[in-house]
Copies of this chain bind each other. A is one copy, B any other.
Amino acid sequence: MRPTLLAPLVATLLFSTVVFAGDPATPATPAKPKSAQELLDASAPADWRTLDPANTLYLDLPGGRVVIELAPGFAPAHVGNIRTLAHEGYWNGLSINRSQDNFVVQWGDPAEEDKDRKSLGSAKAHLPAEFSRTSEGLHFDALPDHDGWAPQVGFSDGFPAARDPESGQAWLAHCYGTVGAGRDVAADSSNGTELYVVTGQSPRQLDRNITVVGRVVQGMELLSVLPRGTGPLGFYEKPGQRTTIKAITLASDVPEAQRVPLQLLRTDTPLFAQVVEARRNRRDDWYKVPAGHIDLCNVPLPVRAPPKP
């Protein structure tokens, strides 16, 4: 016996029973509920999308590569600046300076004084705050469940997001893996050089208070295991404790053969809705009480290597 806490991610879907017209006396047998994995295994190529190299960052650390998808639909000015910074090698040789348990890791220029900081090159020093955007024209697939943080939550372009029909605004949500732009007290004090990644319980109180620029789609385990800093806010107290950034590169600046080919499950398909439902109500033998609910930040966002042709 080796209790494992959880059987592999077995989860099921309640199919609606199909009753054929003209044969009312013979109800069809309810289909055996499919697990999330079975749903994914039966997915079609159109259920997946390929990462756009122009919106993909490679964060190369001594331990390996972290892949980040940028969100130009929500933070166009920040993403534009980040593209410039990456293209010009701004972060190469800088470091991860902060790891606060159950909160974030953060990287950028560790210099305390302005005069000691690395030049921004042709990137802009000042950007507008991009905390939210109009929801007009935005594709948004709402989750069925209530969320106390926002009037509506769901997915937009594959990102966990929220929407307020009253104000007509939408914004990206802070979940595990969300990437944002650190700022000072002034709302417009971020320029995209200081980036953080959520490594703990979703700090949704940050939503609409800071500019979200993307999310980690591969390699979170390289960031989440970094030793926690012992200074205030989890900053490292000694330079030697920081993790050096080998390079942050825009995928489109890398020859195609050197890119990481990745596909992400689309969030605007019937299949995705079925996967969500399979996780809202897990009906495998291990679960005794299906939750009948899921929080935005508990929804899995599957990533895969493209299947071989």
Chain A residues in contact with chain B, CB under 8 A?
1-8, 101-102, 104, 106, 108, 111-112, 114, 117, 131, 145-149, 175-176, 180-185, 187, 189-190, 194, 196, 200-210, 220-221, 224-228, 232-233, 235, 279, 282, 285-291, 293-295, 297-298
| Contacts A8-B232, A149-B291, A176-B200 known; 19 new A-B pairs at CB < 8 A | A1-B114, A1-B117, A2-B111, A2-B194, A3-B184, A3-B194, A4-B182, A5-B104, A6-B233, A8-B233, A102-B176, A148-B293, A148-B295, A201-B298, A202-B295, A202-B298, A205-B279, A209-B288, A225-B225
B101 touching A291 by the CB < 8 A rule? Answer: no
Cβ of A180: which chain B residues have Cβ within 8 Å of it?
5
- Bound: A233/B6 CA distance, A: 8
Can you give 11 A-B contacts (C-beta < 8 A)?
A3-B190, A5-B106, A5-B233, A102-B220, A131-B289, A146-B146, A148-B293, A176-B201, A204-B295, A207-B289, A225-B225
CB distance from A296 to the nearest CB of B (A): 10
Closest residue of chain B to A114, judged by CB? B1
A77 to chain B, nearest CB (A): 16
Evaluate whether A287 and B224 lie within 8 angstroms (CB atoms) in the complex, with A5-B183, A147-B148 already known.
no
Given contacts A149-B291, A204-B291, A293-B148, contact A220 B2 (CB under 8 A): no
Bound: A201/B298 CA distance, A: 7
Cβ contacts under 8 Å, A220 to chain B: 101-102
Closest to A112 in B: B2
Contact B201 A175 (CB under 8 A): yes
Is the Cβ of B225 less than 8 Å from the Cβ of A227?
A: yes
Cα distance, A146 to B145, chains bound together (Å): 12
Which of A6, A149, A189 gathers most chain B CB within 10 Å?
A6
Sort A-B residue pairs by CB-CB distance and give the 8 closest, nearest first: A3-B182, A5-B182, A221-B228, A148-B293, A101-B221, A208-B289, A205-B291, A3-B194
Bound CA–CA A285/B176 (angstroms): 25
A225: which B residues are within 8 A, CB to CB? 224-228
Q: Which residues of B contact A185 (CB under 8 A)?
A: 7, 285-286
Q: Which residues of B contact A112 (CB under 8 A)?
A: 2
A177 (CB) vs chain B CBs: closest residue: B102
CA of A6 to CA of B194, assembled, Å? 12
Complex Cα distance, B207 from A212, in Å, reads 31
